[in-house]
Amino acid sequence: MFWLPSIRWRTVADRGVVLVFILAAWQIGSAIVGTYWLSSPWATASRFAVLIGNGELIRHASYTLLEAAAGTFMGGVPAVLLPFLLRRHPILVAILDPFMAGGYGAPKLAFAPLFILWFGIGIESKIALVASVVFFIVYFATLSGVRALDAKLVQMAQIAGASERQLARHVVMPGAVPAIFAGFRIAVPYAVGAAVIAELISSNRGLGYLVQTGVTNFDTTSVFAAILAATLVVLGTSWLMNMLEALLLKWRPPVLSIMETGT
C-alpha cells in the first residue's frame, strides 16, 4: 500500500523504546526543576486531551494550518512557475540570481514585525510571512530541477516533433517534479513554523497565540500542548506530502536507503 511506509516490526519496537526514553528524561527533568518551569509529559498529555475535547486546540490548530496552507500556496505557486518561465532566458536567471540568493539567505522571520505593521495582526501578515519563507526554498529547488533536465531527452522529444509547449509539458515539467517535491518537503515545516512565529508576535488566534498566552500566564503545560499540536500538524502535512509523492512519482525506481530499510 503506497500510503503506508513498509517498516519492519523491529523498527517500530525500537522507536517505542526511544519514545519511552525521551518521555522518561522529560519526566525526570520536570521533577527536578519543578512543573512550574517545565511541565510533565503526563500533564501535557492530559491538557492536550482537554483542549482537544473542548475544541480549543482544533480551532487554533486549524487557524495556523490555514495560514500555513495559504502562505505555501501563495509563495509556492510563483516559485514553481518562475523557473519554467525563465527556462528559455538564462540571462534573466543570472541577473536575478544574487537577489534570489539574498532573499533565500535573509532571515525572513525578522520581517514578521514589519509584515504585521503592513498587513495588520490578522491572517494577512501571517500568510505574507509564510509565503516569503516558502517562495525562496521552492524557487531554488524548482530551478535546480529545471536545470538538471536531461538534454538528450529534450533532443529526443524535439526530433519526435514536440513543440516548445509540449516540451515543457511532457519533458521539462515531469522531469522537475522530484525536485519540486524536495523543495516543498523542506518548505512545509518552515511554513508551519513561520505561521506560529508570526502568531507569537501578534495575534488573537492560532497555536502561536496559545503558546504566547501560556507563557504570559506561567502555564507551561499549555505551551507544551500547543507545541505538541504544532508538531503533529507538521507530521500530518509531511505524511500528506509522502502520500502525494508516492502517487505522482511511482515511475521512479525504488531507492533503498539505510533509513528506510531499518536494517
Partner 1 sequence: MSARALLEVRKLGKRFAPRHGREPSPWVIQDLSFSVKEGEFLTIVGPSGAGKSTLLNIIAQTDTASAGEIVFDGTSVTTRDSRALRPGFDRRIGYVTQDDNLLPWRSTLDNVLFALEVQGRLNEETRAHAEMLIRAVGLAGFERYYPHELSGGMRKRAALIRTLVYDPPVILMDEPFAAVDAQTRTQLQADLLNLWTLGRKTIIFVTHDIIEAIALGDRALVLSRPPARIAAEHIIPLPRPRNVKNIFAIEGFAATYEKIRADVQ
The site for partner 1 (CB under 8 A) is made up of 150, 152-153, 155-163, 166, 170-171, 174-175, 177, 250-253
The gap between the terminal CA atoms of the chain, to the nearest Å, is 21
Closer CB to partner 1, 131 or 172, in the complex: 172
The nearer residue to partner 1, 59 or 169, going by C-beta atoms, is 169
* C-alpha 29 chain-centroid distance: 30
- Whether the Cβ atoms of residue 207 and residue 230 lie closer than 8 Å to each other: yes
* Alpha-carbon span 156 to 170, nearest angstrom: 12
Q: Which of 218, 193, 195, 220 is nearest to 206 (CA)?
A: 195
Give me the least distance between CB of 195 and partner 1, in Å please. 33
Could you tell me the smallest distance in angstroms from the CB atom of residue 160 to partner 1? 4
Give min distance, CB of 184 to partner 1, in A. Answer: 18
CA angle 258, 261, 263 (to 5 degrees): 80
Least distance in angstroms from the C-beta of 177 to partner 1: 8
Q: Which long-range contacts (CB under 8 A, 24 or more apart) does 27-35 make?
A: 35/220, 35/221
Residue 235 grid coordinates: 507530521
Query: CB of residue 107 vs partner 1: minimum separation in angstroms?
Result: 37
Q: Which is nearer to partner 1, 171 or 192 (CB)?
A: 171
Q: Is 217 exposed, middle or buried, given 0-12, 13-18 or 19+ CB atoms closer than 10 A? A: exposed
Minimum Å distance from CB 142 to partner 1?
17
Nearer to partner 1 by Cβ, of 170 and 185: the residue is 170
In contact, 117 and 173? CB cutoff 8 Å: no
Q: What is the DSSP letter of 108?
A: G
Closest CA to 199 of 242, 229, 155: 229
Least distance between partner 1 and beta carbon 97 (Å):
21
- CB closer to partner 1, 14 vs 164: 164
| Residue pair 166/157 in contact by the 8 Å Cβ criterion | yes
Q: Which is nearer to partner 1, 10 or 169 (CB)?
A: 169
The smaller minimum CB distance to partner 1, of residues 175 and 193, is found at 175
